[in-house]
């Protein structure tokens, strides 16, 4: 059983608006720089270590990657280190972009 919660783009948008989660992008740095979700931080190794050792483990954490697979592994790791409210964006950044392209203008 998964300890983290898979979350669709629309639900993630509501989570961001209502609960101000820590948003972590676990893609390559070049892809993060090319575009990312709002206030997302690029999850490099040093940041990951700092969050695991000193992060607020009660704050919601939203993690995403390219298509939603790698972020599941990272989300599971955060859960294993005691974070209690962890989400993995289903469909990843590609799903996020697709969601916004389908919204009415």
Catalytic residues: 65
Q: How many CB atoms lie within 10 A of CB 67?
A: 15
Distance separating alpha carbons of residues 40 and 47, to the nearest angstrom: 12
Beta partners for residue 87, in sequence order: 5, 62
Is there a contact between 44 and 64 (Cβ–Cβ < 8 Å)? no
User: Nearest-CA neighbor of 70 among 98, 99, 46, 48?
Assistant: 48
């Amino acid at each position: 059983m998964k300890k983290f919660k898979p979350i669709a783009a629309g639900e993630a948008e509501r989570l961001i608006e209502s609960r101000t989660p820590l948003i972590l992008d676990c893609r390559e740095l070049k892809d993060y720089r090319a575009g990312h979700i709002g206030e997302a931080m690029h999850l490099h190794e040093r940041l990951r270590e700092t969050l695991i050792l000193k992060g607020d483990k009660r704050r919601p954490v939203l993690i995403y990657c390219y298509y939603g697979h790698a972020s599941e592994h990272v989300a599971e790791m955060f859960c294993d280190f005691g974070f209690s409210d962890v989400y993995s964006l289903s469909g990843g950044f590609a799903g996020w972009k697709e969601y916004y392209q389908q919204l009415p203008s």
